[in-house]
Structure 1
Amino acid sequence: MGLEAVIREIQEKGRKEAEEVRKETRADVEEILRDAQTKAAGIKMAAEEEADRTATHIINQEVSAANLVVKRQVLNAQKTLLDQVYSASLAAVGDLPAEFHKKALTELLKKVAGEIKEGIVHANERDTPVVKEIISGQKTLSGYTVGAPVEIPGGIIVESTDGELKIDYSYRTFLDEIWESGLKDASDILFT
């Protein structure tokens, strides 16, 4: 065999080995690319899921915050309305006829006489003459004097002569008691 034949044989063998190495390299490259694409797809899917979870969480927080704001506004509106009803009720009682006030003051003075034997009776400016008339007209109230007018919508405030006891029978006090006990019922009627 000649030298040329040996060179051709070596070249041929080298080409075959090079071709084999190229095939193996292409296979390795393709496998690496497939793995990279699979990992990239997994990362992309995980990122999308996380973005969806985050978006859902943010939306839920915003909805909750909006609901809270609306609820607060509704409660504030209800409180404003209840305050208006309270004020209107107090004004309505104050606007009742003089006969009502005279009868109410008489009953309140009788009631206080069972608790304080002697004292000073305070009423608003409108009711002070009526209180004087009631006290002067009933012997059971002879231990009472009329004090300076006070800023109340009606009723009386009585303090014992020794100053140790004070009883508030003003209309506001009675309305407050009724209001406290009936607030839930009134709220249910107005707002349901």
Structure 2
Amino acid sequence: MSLETVAEEIREEAEEQAEAIRQDAESEAEEIVSDAESEAEEIVSDAEAEVEREIDQLREQELSSAKLEAKHERMSARREALDDVRDRVESRIADLDADQRRELTESLLTNSLGEFAEDAQLAVHYAAGDEALIEELLEGRQNVAPAGEIDCLGGVVVESESSRVRVKNTFDSVLADVWEDELKQISDRLFDEQ
């Protein structure tokens, strides 16, 4: 065998090995590219799904926020309407005619005095402008005296001078009690929620 033949065989063998290595490398490269494409598709699919989840979450948050804001606005409007009703009621109480004012004040005074012993020394506070009415209602009572004005719509606050017991029977306090007891019904009636 000649040197040239051996060299030719080595070269052919080297070319065959190189071709086999190249084919293996191409096959491996195709597999790597295919795996990378699959992985990229999976990453894109996962990213799209995550974006959709985030969009859904943001949409839900915005909807929830809008509902909450609407609820706050409704509550604020209701509160304003109830405040307006209460203001109108207070205004009507303040504008009672003399006979109604006298009747209510006398009833509240009688109830207040009933809370004390008959011989207790009592002081009666009253609304501005009711001094003459209170003096008239207290006429003939030895142990009860007018004690001055207080800030209220009407009615009385009676105090015992000896025990410092105080009974508050003002138009304001009666209204506050009624308002608290009847607020749900008032609200239901105003806003048709029966």
Gapped runs of 5+ residues in structure 1?
none
The reply to whether residue 121 of structure 1 matches residue 124 of structure 2 is yes
Aligned to 2:82: 82
Aligned to 1:162: 162
The one-letter amino acid of 1:16's match is E
Q: Using a 3 Å threshold, how does the CA distance of structure 1 residues 18 and 103 change in structure 2: closer, same or farther?
A: same
Bigger drift between 29-38 and 18-27 goes to: 18-27
Structure 1 runs (4+) deviating above 6 angstroms are none
- Per-residue deviation, residues 121-167 of structure 1 (Å, max 9, x unmatched): 1211222211211221xx4x332111212221011111123251111
Conserved in 2, the CA contact under 8 Å of 1:122 and 1:128?
Answer: no
The reply to whether residue 55 of structure 1 matches residue 58 of structure 2 is no
Q: Distance in 1 between matches of 2:109 and 2:3?
A: 144
Conserved in 1, the CA contact under 8 Å of 2:125 and 2:150?
Answer: yes
Deviation for aligned residue 1:23: 1.9
Q: Using a 3 Å threshold, how does the CA distance of structure 1 residues 4 and 112 change in structure 2: closer, same or farther?
A: closer
Deviation for aligned residue 1:17: 3.2
Q: Distance in 2 between matches of 1:15 and 1:161?
A: 124
The reply to whether residue 29 of structure 1 matches residue 32 of structure 2 is no
Q: Distance in 1 between matches of 2:163 and 2:81?
A: 39
| Structure 2 SS opposite 1:152 | coil
Deviation for aligned residue 1:26: 1.3
Aligned to 2:67: 67
Deviation for aligned residue 1:9: 4.5
Bigger drift between 148-157 and 45-54 goes to: 45-54
The one-letter amino acid of 2:15's match is R
Aligned to 2:17: 17
Conserved in 1, the CA contact under 8 Å of 2:108 and 2:170?
Answer: no
Aligned to 2:144: 144
Q: Distance in 2 between matches of 1:124 and 1:32?
A: 94
The two structures have a TM-score, normalised by structure 1, of 0.86
| Structure 2 SS opposite 1:71 | helix
Give the fraction of aligned pairs with identical amino acids, expressed as a percent: 30
Deviation for aligned residue 1:90: 1.3
The two structures have a TM-score, normalised by structure 2, of 0.85
- Per-residue deviation, residues 43-98 of structure 1 (Å, max 9, x unmatched): 12112222222232233223223322332232222222222211211111121111
Q: Distance in 1 between matches of 2:80 and 2:184?
A: 15
